[in-house]
Structure 1
Amino acid sequence: MTTIKMKKKLDELFKNEEWQTSFIRDKDLYRIEGAESKQGVSINIPNVISKYEERGDAALDELKFHVTESLQMMHEEHHLSGQEQQIYPVIRSTSFPKETKSEVPLLYSEHTAETNIYYALDLGSTYQLIDQQMLQEQGWTFDRLKEIASFNVRSLSVEPKRDTVAGNDFYFIATQDGYDASRILNEAFLEEMKANAVGELAVAVPHQDVFIVADIQNDTGYDVLAQMTMKFFAEGRVPITSLSFIYEDKHLEPVFILAKNKPKN
């Protein structure tokens, strides 16, 4: 499908009196924004074409849902007070933006050499990353925000599915609640997994919606984990990092694994 044909589909998809659309030809971007606020979302048309050719109209339906949710969130005021139970940490790559499009600093903590921790207010079907302005309006300290988010992530259910490959045990958490990768911050869970591990404990957060814990019991396990992580990273809607980490003494150390062997079934 050509860019022009997809633009026509998007024109129809996002036809709404409250929105304005535009096409940035030299960048292959399609933009939808509020007619009055001028705040909006930019879409990479080649990416949409790829998904459409693979999944058809279902891909466009999903796109419209996420864009609509994003636009609605931009035009609502949200408060932290009274919403303490809806505040969670989210893992992002270190290359993730450090400020909003309005140039307001986002709140984040350093996590590993590959990842940072941002903070989100859960809004049901989506969430809003918490910025400096929101914190100041509530009169909160950053330490209070971090403490609340840390407590809440520990309250999330952790029910991994186990798979054994080439003598190594892999555990997958993929609840699709938006906070699967955040469970890497549940230290009590990691300590429990470490206590029960036969070999070396490794973890990975290739994208937002999966958390992998691996009990590596032989050299092949590293290759399997590397290939799993790369595959998930390439397929994720919100990719984080293709690297995995060794968990030792309550510390995460990135592992640079070159997967030369195919997994042995």
Structure 2
Amino acid sequence: MDSKKMRRELEARLTGKDKLITYDREKDQLRIESTLLGKGITVSIPGVIAKWQIEQEKAIDEIVYYVEEGLRAMTDPVQLKDHEKKIFPVIRSGSFPTEAAEGNPFLIDEHTAETKIYYAYDMGNTYRLIDKQIMEKEGWEASRIKEIALFNARSLSTPLKEDQVAGNIFYFLNTNDGYDASRIVNKGFLNEIEKRITGTMVLAVPHQDVLIIADIRNDKGYDVLAQMAMSFFANGRVPITALSFLYEAGELEPIFILGKNK
């Protein structure tokens, strides 16, 4: 599958009423906009091809679903009052855009050197990042949104799957509710897990739909975690970072793990 064929496939699947599709040849990106709003979503074609090589048609189905739901979220109204339970924090990479395409800044908090916290309004199958325009329309202060979002993050379930590799223990949180990586802001949850750890506690949020917590007990554990994080990062719908984080004294510190073994 080359770029030209993937572009044609996506255009055929996404073409429809009230949509405008444009192609940026230099960046190899498709821009799908709602003609009603003048807002849209940009898709990196090389990124879709990389996923297609692993998942085939499933990769195209996912990106089409993501775009369609994203456009729908833009047209549906956001009402914060009386819908406080729909407000959540979401983790994004440090390089993620700080504003919408039309120049409207998102509500953002610093998190680590590799990640930032954005705030979202849950719309069922998708969510919309809260921006300055929404805040002004609703008359809400940033501090109120952040407080509610962090409270809601603490209410999210935290089911963990456990795996042991080479004498190390790995815990995986993957509920596919869109906020798996968001659990990393729940310090109460992290502190409870820390009590189980007998080695070094290291976390990873390679994409938005997974949180990995590792009990590293030997050097091999670092290699395993590095490979896991890179694999998840390459295949995630919304990649965050392939780096991992030490968790010490309630703080996260990004670390670079140079994998030696495969």
In 2 relative to 1, CA 138–170 (structure 1 residues): closer, same or farther, beyond 3 Å?
same
- Equivalent residues of 2:184, 2:211 under 8 A apart: yes
For residue 196 of structure 1, give the secondary structure of its aligned residue in structure 2: coil
Unaligned runs of 5+ in 1: none
Q: TM-score, with normalisation over the residues of structure 2?
A: 0.92
Task: Report what 2:90 is aligned to.
Answer: 90
Task: Report what 2:167 is aligned to.
Answer: 167
In 2 relative to 1, CA 116–222 (structure 1 residues): closer, same or farther, beyond 3 Å?
same
Cα distance in structure 1, aligned partners of 2:201 and 2:235? 24
What's the CA shift string for 1:123-180, capped at 9, x where partnerless?
Answer: 0000000012212222222111111011101111101100011111110001111111
Q: Which amino acid aligns with 2:129?
A: L
Matches for 1:1-265 after TM superposition, within 5 Å: 1-52=1-52, 54-262=54-262
Q: Which amino acid aligns with 1:174?
A: N
Cα distance in structure 2, aligned partners of 1:119 and 1:141? 13
Aligned length: 262
Cα distance in structure 2, aligned partners of 1:104 and 1:128? 13
Q: TM-score, with normalisation over the residues of structure 1?
A: 0.91
Between stretches 203-212 and 129-138, larger displacement belongs to 129-138
Runs of 4+ in 1 over 6 A off after TM superposition: none
Unaligned runs of 5+ in 2: none
- Equivalent residues of 2:51, 2:235 under 8 A apart: no
In 2 relative to 1, CA 229–177 (structure 1 residues): closer, same or farther, beyond 3 Å?
same
Matched residues, percent identical? 52
Between stretches 19-28 and 106-115, larger displacement belongs to 19-28
- In angstroms, what is the RMSD of aligned CA positions? 1.9
In 2 relative to 1, CA 114–55 (structure 1 residues): closer, same or farther, beyond 3 Å?
closer
Cα distance in structure 1, aligned partners of 2:112 and 2:20? 40
Larger radius of gyration: 1
Cα distance in structure 2, aligned partners of 1:138 and 1:10? 36
In 2 relative to 1, CA 54–138 (structure 1 residues): closer, same or farther, beyond 3 Å?
same
